[in-house]
Amino acid sequence: MNVVIVGAGPAGLITALNLLQRGIKPLILEKSPEIRATACGEALGLRWINEVPFDSSPYIAKRVRGAKLIFPGGSVDHIDKECAVLDRTKWLRGMAEEVERGGELRLNSEVIAVTRDSIRLKNGENIGYQVLIGADGPHSRLAQYLGMKYNFVTASQYKIACNTSAMDFLEFYFDKRFSYGYAWIFPKDGVINVGTGGDFAHLDAFLKYKGLDSHQIIKREAGIIPASGIGKLVQRNIALIGDAASMPNPTGLSGLSPIIQASQILARNINSLEDYETEVKNHPMANSILLKGGHILMNLSNQDLANIGKFFAGVKKSEGRAPKIRKIVKYPSLLLKLNRLRTVYKAGVIAMGYGW
Ligand X SMILES: Cc1cc2nc3c(=O)[nH]c(=O)nc-3n(C[C@H](O)[C@H](O)[C@H](O)COP(=O)(O)OP(=O)(O)OC[C@H]3O[C@@H](n4cnc5c(N)ncnc54)[C@H](O)[C@@H]3O)c2cc1C
Binding residues (CB under 6 A) for ligand X: these are: 6-12, 29-32, 38-44, 110-111, 135-138, 141, 155, 157, 195, 223, 225, 242-244, 248, 254-256, 259
Half-sphere exposure of 304 (CA within 13 A, CB side): 16
Tell me which residue of 71, 62, 83, 7 sits closest to 245, measured CA to CA: 7
Residue (50 or 333) nearer to ligand X, CB: 50
CB of 303 to ligand X, least distance (A): 27
Task: Assess contact for 231 and 241: CB atoms under 8 A.
Answer: no
CB of 348 to ligand X, least distance (A): 16
End-to-end CA distance of the chain: 34
Task: Assess contact for 14 and 57: CB atoms under 8 A.
Answer: no
CB of 344 to ligand X, least distance (A): 20
CB of 327 to ligand X, least distance (A): 32
CB of 256 to ligand X, least distance (A): 3
Residue (11 or 185) nearer to ligand X, CB: 11
Residue 133 CB contacts under 8 Å (≥ 6 apart), including other chains: 3, 4, 5, 6, 12, 15, 26, 238, 239, 240, 241, 266
Q: Which amino acid is at 39?
A: A
CB of 138 to ligand X, least distance (A): 6
Query: Residue of minimal CB distance from ligand X?
Result: 255
Residue (135 or 230) nearer to ligand X, CB: 135
Residue (157 or 269) nearer to ligand X, CB: 157
SS3 category, 311: helix
Residue 262 CB contacts under 8 Å (≥ 6 apart), including other chains: 11, 241, 242, 245, 247, 280, 283, 285
Residue (146 or 334) nearer to ligand X, CB: 146
Residue (37 or 315) nearer to ligand X, CB: 37
